[in-house]
Amino acid sequence: MAVIALKAPDIEVTVVDMNAARIAEWNSDQLPVYEPGLDEVVRATRGRNLRFTTDVEGGIREADIIFVAVNTPTKTYGIGAGRAADLRYIEAVARTISRVAVGPKIIVEKSTIPVKTSETIKDIFAANGVGGNFQVLSNPEFLAEGTAVADLFSPDRVLIGGERTPEGEKAVETLASVYARWVPRDRIITTNLWSAELSKLVANAFLAQRISSINSISALCEATGADVDEVSRAIGRDSRVGPKFLKASVGFGGSCFQKDILNLVYLCEKFGLGDVAAYWESVVKMNDWQKRRFAAQIIGSLYNTAADKRVAILGFAFKKDTNDTRESAAISICRDLLAEQAHVVVYDPRVPASLIHSDVLGAGKRDARLTVAQTPYEAAEGAHVVAIVTEWDEFRSLDYARIFALMAKPALFFDGRNIVDLAALRRIGFRVHGIGKPNDA
C-alpha cells in the first residue's frame, strides 16, 4: 500500500487494522517490519496520501477499492488441520464490509487464499443483500521478503482475476489502471477469478519445488564428490531451466512456501486427486528432510556426542535482509541440537533475542542451553561448530582466522548456504562442510 501511495500520489491510501499497537508502530519512526527501502517509501508518503488508522469501519466506508490483506494461517483444528487455510479472518472482513459499506465498491483479495475463496466472500455479500454492489477481484502478491520494495517497483507481472462479466471487466480495468501508473501494461495479466487464485499457490509450489529438487541433489553430490553449485550452474544455463532458485540450502523457510503447498495438497485431496496431492507433499517432505539432515550432520561431526558442546548458529531469519523467522530452518536445527543436549548460541543481526527464544522453545519459555550472542565472534567463543544458517552478507567477510582462534579444536565449520570460500577456511585450519560439496566433516 505504501508503494501504491508513492506511485499514485492522487490516490488516498488508508491502511486499517484492529490492532492498535501495530498501527501505532506504523505511525512511529520504528516500523514493525524490516525491509530495505521501506522506511524511505513510508516517510515520503505518510501524512501525504498514506494513513494508518484503527478506524476500520470508517476506512471501509470511505474506500472505493478495498484490499483484504488479513492473514490466512494454516488451520490448527478440525477438518483439514495442518493443511487447509483458516479463513476466519477473511470471513470476518467480508461480514464487516457487508455491514458497513455502501456500494459500489471493488473488493480485492490480496491475502493468499485457497481457490474459490471469492465464492465465500460473494456468498456473504449476497446473503446480506449487498452482493450486486460489490465486485470481488483476486490480485495475489508475488513480492519476496527482503526485496519487497524493489519487487513492487518492478514486478515481473501483476495478476488480476475477475468475473468475466461487463461489471467484472470494468472492475479489473479500474484496478489495472492503478498499477499501470508504474507497471508496463504488458506485465499486467488478467484472468478469471479461479485462475488468479490458483496461480498464486502454484507459483509458490513451483518455486519451492525447485529448491527441494536441488536440495535432493545436494545429498547425492555429497555422496559422489560432485559440487552442487557447479551442477546448478550447468543446468541453469539451459534457458528452459533458468538459473534462479537453484541455490541449495539448509531448506526453505518463510511464511508462504510450506503453507501454500499444504494448502494445494489439501485442495487436491478435496477433489479426490490423491496422487497429485502426494506429488506436491513430497516437496515439503524433502525440505523437512534437508533441515534434519543438516542438524544430523553437525551431530555426526561431533562424534555423535553433542552433549555440552557449544554450537554457534549464524543467522536465524528465514533468509537475509529480513527479520522474519517464520518457518525458518534455524528453528528446527536449533531444536534438533538442543535435543542432543548441545549448547546452542545464536547470532542474527536483525532478529531480537526474545523471538529466537520463543520460536525455538515456545512463548515465555527459557532453556539455559539456548543463548543469543551480540556478535558472531561472541557466538564462536569456545564453540566446537560454527554453522551458517542464514545467508547474511556480513557472514561472507567475517574474520575467520579470529573465529578459528576462538573455537575449540577440531574447529568445525558448516556452511548451510554455500556463501563462504571453503578452501580458504580449510587453509586456516577448519574442517569444513558445505551443502552438496566434497566435505571433510
Query: Smallest distance from the beta carbon of 131 to ligand UGA, in angstroms?
Result: 29
Query: Smallest distance from the beta carbon of 153 to ligand UGA, in angstroms?
Result: 15
Contact 344, 369 (CB under 8 A): yes
C-beta of 208 vs 411, nearer to ligand UGA: 208
Query: Smallest distance from the beta carbon of 40 to ligand UGA, in angstroms?
Result: 20
Residues 6+ away with beta carbon under 8 Å from 152: 3, 143
**Cell representation of residue 16:** 486499517
**b/e sequence 74-106, b meaning 16+ C-beta within 10 Å:** bbeeeebeebbbbbeebbebbeebbeebebebb
User: What CA–CA distance (Å, rounded) separates 127 from 261?
Assistant: 32
Strand order in the sheet with 158-162: 65-68, 105-109, 134-138, 158-162, 188-192
**At 21, is the secondary structure helix, strand, or coil?**
helix
Query: Smallest distance from the beta carbon of 2 to ligand UGA, in angstroms?
Result: 16
Q: Where are the alpha helices (DSSP H) in 79-159?
A: 88-100, 117-127, 148-153
Catalytic residue numbers? 256
Task: Give 266-321 as a DSSP string.
Answer: HHHHHTT-HHHHHHHHHHHHHHHHHHHHHHHHHHHHTTT--TT-EEEEE--SSSTT
C-beta of 145 vs 227, nearer to ligand UGA: 145
Query: Smallest distance from the beta carbon of 133 to ligand UGA, in angstroms?
Result: 30
C-beta of 109 vs 340, nearer to ligand UGA: 109
Contact 398, 419 (CB under 8 A): no
User: What CA–CA distance (Å, rounded) separates 240 from 16?
Assistant: 43
Query: Smallest distance from the beta carbon of 214 to ligand UGA, in angstroms?
Result: 7
C-beta of 316 vs 430, nearer to ligand UGA: 316
Footprint of ligand UGA (CB under 6 A):
112, 141-145, 204, 207, 211, 245-247, 249, 252-254, 256-257, 318-319
C-beta of 172 vs 246, nearer to ligand UGA: 246
C-beta of 42 vs 329, nearer to ligand UGA: 329
- Eight-class DSSP state of 73: P
